[in-house]
Amino acid sequence: MTTDNRSHSDALVLGIDTGGTYTDGILMEYHSREVRAAHKSLTTKRDLSIGIESVIQGIRIEDPSAVRMVSVSTTLATNAIAEGKGKRVALLLIGYDPDLVASFRMEARFATQHYYYFSGGHDLYGQEKAPLDLPAVLEKVASIKDQVDAIAVSSYFSPLNPEHEHRCFQAISGICDLPVVLGHQLSTKLGSVERATTAALNASLLAVLRDFIVAVRRAMERKHIVAPLMVVRGDGTLMSDEFAAATPVETIHSGPAASAIGGRFLSGLDKALVVDIGGTTTDFALIERGQVTVSEEGATVSGYKTAVKAADLFSIALGGDSHIRLARDNEVTIGPERVVPLAYLADQHPGVMSHLKGLNQRQASKIDPEALEFWFLLREPTGAASPASAQEKALLAMLSDGPKPLPEILDRLGLISRVQIGTDHLDRHELIGRAGLTPTDLLHTEGVYTAWNTEAAATALRVFSRCKRWDPEAFSLHVRSMITEAIVHAIVCFLSEKTLPPPPEMEKGGDIGQWFFLNSLRNVHPHLRTRFELSLPIIGIGAPARIFLENVADILYTKLILPDHHPVANAVGAVAGTIMVAEEIIVYPRVAADGLEAIGYYVQAKEERQLFDELEDALANARKLSRERALGAALRSGADNPQVAMEEKTDGLDTYRIRARAMGNPRLAPVDRSL
């Protein structure tokens, strides 16, 4: 699709979504909401700007000065957490009780193994619980500053009194140059563990989001695009690139939230279930009353509960590039690992095709299914990424000649199993990649998607099918059925908020609920018919949506809606959102020495705290201050004529939360009249 830049009166906006597999882009006229052009490209993890620039090139923007805003969504933060590729963080816990944390096994929720306890913190009334042991903090930081990449500080009840966090920041900044993240700046919630987790995750993601924003800016510069840059939050609203760089944890679920908003925008439906099938995951979101439902409890990613508000989403590790393998029991599995499709690898490396042909000529009994898994070099190691062990060096030297099948790698390294190959360092620095049979390969064999080497995909399918002694077409249908069942299973669990074992485990027996589910899928009972009926239509998002969701909709007795541009709906969602800034101020009592009588009221606004004699005066000040701060922040973030909505609630014990939300459409760059 090509772009028709019709006149300078057009307000063109560029939406980009960078996922784990693909980078998508769209060019849209902002006022008419007409999508002028769209393009997809592979995400280039070694240098994200290459994939982003490829998308911009594919859109073919004739007049870069006509682009008046760029907005991006990304799964980079979520994927970095899930894959353990965030930076190393030291978490300093001020005033936390080590015994209490250990007794409830909460330490696993801190999102870092490097956590340390120090005396200090405050109580429920913002009064100092114990003096801050600053010498111990500095001693610890001095001993670990060369072993970590960032520092997070979370003090007990810091939203009510951040004094100890501020003192830590000032002292730490005096002895090292590491970035320091403070918990109270990210959340006003009183949940100490969630706040500490959020601070640790934010610290670990600073470099990830900074590099991403630099990559987008670099691509914009090369394409001569001068415009404001926005980033999608996890709740689907927009924030400036500066704010995103400082608070990357806010982008958890950014990509799926953009997909849901894009699906709603393109379909025009006010009530629907959005199902986005990507290369790495399939994501689910609910639209009610024209809005994507949002979880106020805080987003959870890879088991880590945060204090970040995000869209209420459900994700499974199933996508077009999920690895199809044989498990130890000789049963077929799909995912959760993502690999490069063999069709793509063979397209880039002709030697892979020769190997696949050789495998296909062997007797079925002499075919090792792992011979369909290839490892390859993503980039040459430099600096900190250089291999540390002899085995790592030997592996990289081997792969420098081209992709190698796993059995050959094991044989040349003198090993028996893949678990003996230590690749943590290589994976963390993204030096090596893996390829294997995927659903994308099967789509090549069916002629549905033929971007790469179709012959390689068909040969790999024949080899794998022979291992199971199946007909290739029957095997493809079996994989389709597995994908359908997994998606239906996820929808039922997401909407019912119940837990069910996956279908393969249900086959071994179970209760009436498990039998009901299986019978609804397969109609196995000769006399009883059961079914789930979804009262909402499904909006399909992603390139494979038509292929994989038609059967899902049939099983759930609902409609499948595939709006125009559904393969790039995530990029549409990146420009369809509004800017939102929230400012929450806490009003709480100052108590007498006996702890029974309120003798004043504090107004706590992050770094600033004021004391008032009367509650009404404190509340009036909090209302005025929160409105002014939210409005100012929204204007600085690029909102055009933002409107402010106020909300008040009580936490009990004469404690109040005053929240101002300032929302507005993005302010577009002015038209360059000199051209």
Question: CA–CA separation, 588 vs 345, rounded Å?
Answer: 61
Task: Calculate the dihedral angle through the C-alpha atoms of 191, 195, 197, 201, rounding to the nearest 10 degrees.
Answer: 160
pLDDT of residue 131: 97
Q: Taking the chain (675 residues) in consecutive chunks of 10 residues, what is each chunk's mean pLDDT? A: 45 92 92 92 84 92 92 88 83 96 89 96 93 97 95 96 96 95 92 94 93 92 94 94 93 92 94 93 92 84 85 88 87 90 96 94 84 92 75 90 94 89 79 94 92 95 90 93 94 92 77 88 89 96 92 97 94 94 95 84 92 96 97 93 95 90 92 56
pLDDT of residue 384: 65
Q: Tell me how many degrees the CA angle 25-27-29 measures, rounded to the nearest 5.
A: 150
Which of 629, 637, 634 has the alpha carbon at shortest distance from 230? 637
DSSP 203-261: HHHHHHHHHHHHHHHHHHHHTT----EEEE-TTS-EEEHHHHHH-GGGGTTHHHHHHHH
Domains of the chain: 89-206 (3.40.50), 322-475 (no CATH), 579-666 (3.30.110.70)
Which DSSP category does 300 fall into?
Answer: E
pTM, 2 dp = 0.86
pLDDT of residue 214: 93
Question: CA–CA separation, 517 vs 489, rounded Å?
Answer: 8
- Residues 6+ away with beta carbon under 8 Å from 239: 230, 231, 233, 247, 250, 579, 581, 637
Q: Tell me how many degrees the CA angle 387-176-307 measures, rounded to the nearest 5.
A: 85
Asked if 73 contacts 293 with a C-beta cutoff of 8 angstroms, the reply is: no
pLDDT of residue 47: 81
Question: CA–CA separation, 79 vs 292, rounded Å?
Answer: 22
Asked if 403 contacts 352 with a C-beta cutoff of 8 angstroms, the reply is: yes
In this structure, is the dihedral angle defined by the CA atoms of residues 221, 262, 8 and 58, taken in order, positive or negative?
positive
pLDDT of residue 3: 38
CA distance to 153, 494, 673, per residue, from 90 (Å): 8, 34, 51
Which of 18, 426, 429, 42 has the alpha carbon at shortest distance from 214? 18
Alpha helices, H only, 507-614 = 512-522, 545-555, 569-576
Task: Calculate the dihedral angle through the C-alpha atoms of 189, 193, 197, 198, rounding to the nearest 10 degrees.
Answer: 0
Examine residue 336 and say whether the peptide bond preceding it is cis (omega within 30 degrees of 0). Answer: yes
